[in-house]
Amino acid sequence: MATLTLSIPDGLLDKARRHAVIKGVSLNALIREYLSDLTGREEQLRNSTQKFLEFSNAYGGKIERWKREDLYEL
């Protein structure tokens, strides 16, 4: 596992430490969780965008050809 050094304003660090205490985790775990969630959302957005583009291409980009049921598959 890699080690990372960050420069964080004191006030923000204090808030993050308090938040970690409330959640019952270490600051290190809190930051790892945040980064994991952040990258997961970006990957999910890329996948959703790709599915939408594939769906759009399948219908020739014409919205009037889309069926409500098909849109739920996105």
* pLDDT (tens digit per residue) in 34-62: 999 888 888 888 888 888 888 777 777 66
The percent of residues above 90 in pLDDT, for the chain, comes to 43
Spatial CB neighbours of 13, under 8 Å, sequence gap ≥ 6: none
Q: How many CA atoms lie within 13 A of 26 on its CB side?
A: 3
- Ranges of each domain in the chain: 25-71
pLDDT range class, residue 33, cuts 50, 70, 90: very high
What does the pLDDT average to over 1-7?
A: 91
Spatial CB neighbours of 33, under 8 Å, sequence gap ≥ 6: 25
